[in-house]
Structure 1
Amino acid sequence: MSNLDPRLITKLLPASCRTVYVAYSGGVDSHVLLHLAATGAQLRERIVAVYVNHGLQAAAAAWGEHCRDQCRELGVVFKIVKVDAVARNGEGPEAAAREARYRALNQLLQTDDVLLLAQHRDDQMETLLLQLFRGAGVAGLAGMPVDAAFGCGRMLRPFLDTSKKDICEYALANNLQWVEDPSNQSSDFDRNFLRNQIVPLLKQRWPSLDKTVARSAAHCGEASRMLEDWADSILAELIDPESKSISLVGLSRLAESQRRVVLRKWLARFGLKPPSTAVIKALTEQMSGRRLNASPLQVQIQGYCILGYRQKLFCIPAAALGKFAGNLLWPKPDARLDLGNGYGLARVEASSGIAKAHWDGAEVLVKARAGGEKLKLPGRSGHHCLKKLYQEAGVPPWERDQRPLVYLDGRLAAVAGLWVAEWAWASGATAVYRVVWQAENGFGDSKRR
């Protein structure tokens, strides 16, 4: 007889917890999780059971109705979410369905909400074995965490130290009704192949395999957290907070194994998936094979380009590297102007910048850099070529052709986000505009100048 208890769930919930979402597929694992959560009167009022319809099974709609009926009996709120789980760009069907499901669930959570998942100790064992077969490092071999940040809230897995056997015993003892997904019997999928054919054979030899492998995952998790903390402390010293670039000089002082850990952690901060060993190896080899004061490399990864300039590495969305080639009229009433290349301009009031008197009475044109432009800066003698100013300020080469130039009545007044010509310059609390150049369309927040 299973000894599952609602305290498995309640002990994990943060004190500030509001809504408790339960990922509910209708299968035995998620049904037991939902039933266990609903047995607590205080918890039941906060539960929302969520069925994600991937549209991959003919019976998906019927399963959704089954889940609705079960939630009605339990007295909990029920919600169906439909997703597009079609695999794209070389994704496997399992990965595509998982990513679609997590995206949908992520969008539901608000601050102080939690998501409960029914993955158990046998799932953890399968995850670790699959990661091992794929050549994962310590982070991959840590498997799934019990508690993790997820969207605006938390993701909790209360059953990670619970066996499948205990879950099934609970379901039978409580006369639960669940659905069986026939695709679980197909060994075409890696996890099903492992679950249906390999693990039963292994358990004949090692009956406690799920416990011992889960213990290994816990050890790897502890080691992974130590590495994460160490890498965070190193990155705090090496990263430029404005450009998010990383110091090549600082990286060169690390051992090669340490450098790989730090580079992976740095790339993760851009939302990139862990790069392959081959990519990291190519990156470190190119870094060590060139002079630090030269442009060290250009590597493409997951839609980003890793670029080097002045002893720093930059990670830039590839879509944001196109030159600005426009010649745009800035309408007078508009405070913002879309440049059409992933960036935009914003006109804001400031204490110093372009005099409003100049701006308000002029035709404002935004142009691409043509080459040879000069600017006389406030407080400096002579006119300076933009090329020299860019070099002096350490503006990366790829950024120089992205930044637009602002003209008032045909006269160069400013380089967006950097300099204002002396003739257009003014300072004062209410008589000045500043032109801010910033990324649009999700290109990050590194261009806010």
Structure 2
Amino acid sequence: MRFYSSTLSIAKNKKKNHIQIRAIHINHNINLRSKEWTEHCKTICIQNQIPLIIENINLNCNINNNIEEQLRIQRYNIIYKNLYDNEILLTGHHINDQCETFILFLKRGSGPTGLSSMSFDTQFGNKNIIRPFLNITKKKLELWAKSKKLKWIEDFSNHQIDYDRNFIRNKMLPILEKRWPFFVKNCFRTTMICQKETKLLNYFLHKKIVNFIKYDESLDISNFQHMKKDMCTALIRYWLTLKKIKIPSYKNIQNIYYQMIFCRNDANPKIIIKNHAIKRYKKVLYFIKIKPNIQNMLLFWHNKNKKLKLPNNLGYLIQNKNGIILPAPHTNELINIRFQHEGRISILGRNHTRKIKKIWQEKNIPPWLRNQIPLLFYNHTFIAALGVFIVKVKNTNRNNWIVSWFNNLEIPQDYKFSFY
């Protein structure tokens, strides 16, 4: 972590070029001298009339072993939140950083996409990251900084070889460069070749995948069993790149292929990727954010003239004139919402009872959505799965009322029912 400030060379000419610059410093709070580094950044920015944002990361004691990765994720989240819509993030990554990244991906057994490492211009959400020094060596940058009499801070943790990147930087690269002086530059050339190959592959995959992606961004795999494995895994991988996540390893992509493509038709396999899951339903793959289990939750709607907020960002229920017409509760009945029910029921439009599982299947509700749909009860009497079906109530001597569920559920393409 050094503050060269990659913006300082631009700062010298910012008035001439009409460039507006802001800087951000993130204190990780893991070094005893981190406060000194913050003060250094303040001084540099004041001298060059650059607005400075200072943010702090407080390390969670429950953080996993990969501290570098966790800090990087937090750091970029903070930067993203502070970026204006019309701003570009400039970073100081150089060719040696690129070589280190390349070797890290090589260690993981990555293919051309991973070995592409960093690019000069990267999409960052709906904003951009530009790395203007990516083809310049660390040594050349240091010589330039010294010639301009720039002052910077060295983070001594960069020499702790317990971290993989530091081991590569301090142990591996000096030996490799001594043996092969052009090793770092050749690594960079390899990353450029991999980037070109990846762009070309993605160009063809983009044209092909439109035949398999449904409107809700799920992936239709109904014909994958009749396609070559390499094409299937390439399409799965490209589909996941569209989710803007860190792409799973080669091994995980293979697991997705074997577990999802060749499982039984009635199976519902899932593969966890951090806080998301890949799930299969009726020969379609879905990429689902994992939500807390609310199967055993019970909500009481004591005042039906007010909104009832639902858990898991499922929206809210409200009595109005534009929703679903339902049997109204009696005065002495408690209106309550549940998210799980088992057994046989009879719904409007049917003469016989059926297991609720079969009804969910008929309505094309995937298993992971079934426990996200509010089930309306009066005391212990099941009245309706809101937006899906209404249960036949034995006591028909009831008035009607109208309920709307405003929700954010993602539903399958072939599901025709409107939730409103």
> So what's the TM-score if we normalise by structure 1?
0.78
Please name the residue that 1:27 is paired with: 3
Quote the offset at 1:408 in angstroms. Answer: 6.1
Q: Is the 8 A contact 2:300 2:334 kept in 1?
A: no
Give the counterpart letter for 2:389 in structure 1.
Answer: W
Change (3 A) 1:360 1:215: farther
Aligned positions of 1:298-377 closer than 5 A: 298-320=270-292, 323-326=295-298, 328-329=300-301, 331-338=303-310, 340=311, 343-347=314-318, 353-354=324-325, 358=328, 364-367=335-338, 368-377=340-349
2:219·2:284 contact (CA, 8 Å) conserved in 1? Answer: yes
Cα contact 1:44–1:76 (8 A) shared by 2: no
2: distance between equivalents of 1:45 and 1:116? 13
Match of 2:221 in 1: 248
Give the unaligned 5+ runs of structure 2.
413-417
| Mapping for residues 12-411 of structure 1, pairs under 5 Å | 26-28=2-4, 31-41=5-15, 46-85=20-59, 90-242=64-216, 244-270=217-243, 272-291=245-264, 293-295=265-267, 297-320=269-292, 323-326=295-298, 328-329=300-301, 331-338=303-310, 340=311, 343-347=314-318, 353-354=324-325, 358=328, 364-367=335-338, 368-377=340-349, 382=351, 385=354, 386-407=356-377
Deviations 1:356-398 (A, max 9, x none): x958999643234242222214xxx646644443222222244
C-alpha contact 1:348 1:436 (8 A) present in aligned 2: no
Contact 1:324/1:404 (<8 A) preserved = no
Contact map agreement 2:57 2:74 (CA 8 A) in 1: yes
In structure 2, what is the equivalent of residue 14 of structure 1?
A: none
After superposition, the Cα gap between the structure-2 partners of 1:333 and 1:147, relative to the gap in structure 1 and judged at 3 Å, is: farther
How far apart are the structure 2 equivalents of 1:116 and 1:268?
A: 23
One-letter amino acid of the structure 2 residue matched with residue 117 of structure 1: T
Q: Is the 8 A contact 2:301 2:308 kept in 1?
A: no
Shift of 1:246: 2.4
Judging by fraction of residues, say which structure has more helix.
Answer: 1
Deviation for aligned residue 1:128: 0.9
Identify the match of residue 417 of structure 1 among 352, 373, 387: 387
Q: Secondary structure at the match of 2:184?
A: helix
Q: Any idea what the Cα deviations from partners look like across 1:98-154, whole Å, max 9, x if unmatched? A: 222212112111312211100011211221122112211111111111112224421
- For the Cα contact (< 8 Å) 2:28–2:56, is it kept in 1? yes
Q: Give the conservation status (yes or no) of the 8 Å contact 2:91–2:129.
A: yes
For residues 222-268 of structure 1, give each alpha carbon's deviation from its aligned partner in whole angstroms, at most 9, with x where no partner exists: 222233344444443323333x4422313324321222222233345
Give the distance between the partners of 1:392 and 1:156, measured in 2 at CA. 50
- What letter corresponds to residue 194 of structure 2 in structure 1? C
Is the 1:119–1:159 contact (alpha carbons within 8 Å) kept by the matching residues of 2? yes
Q: Cα RMSD between the aligned structures?
A: 3.4
Gaps spanning 5+ residues in structure 1: where? 1-24, 440-444
How far apart are residue 212 of structure 1 and its match? 2.2
Specify the alignment match of 2:415 in structure 1: none
Query: 8 Å contact 2:301–2:337 — kept in the other structure?
Result: yes
Do the aligned residues in 2 keep the contact of 1:347 with 1:433 (CA within 8 Å)? Answer: yes
| 1:345–1:438 contact (8 Å) kept in structure 2 | no
For residue 66 of structure 1, report the CA deviation from its aligned partner.
1.1
SS where residue 105 of structure 1 aligns? helix
CA change 1:273–1:326 in 2 (3 A) is: same
Percent identity of the aligned residues?
Answer: 25
Counting matched residue pairs gives: 407
Q: Contact conserved, 1:376 with 1:384, CA < 8 A, in 2?
A: no
- Structure 1 pair 402–96 and aligned structure 2 pair: CA distance change class (3 A): closer
1:290-324 Cα distance to aligned partner (Å, 9 max, x none): 34x33163433424444333222334444455525
Q: Deviation per CA, 1:35-64, whole angstroms, max 9, x where unpaired?
A: 334422156762111111111111111111
- TM-score computed with the length of structure 2 as normaliser: 0.83
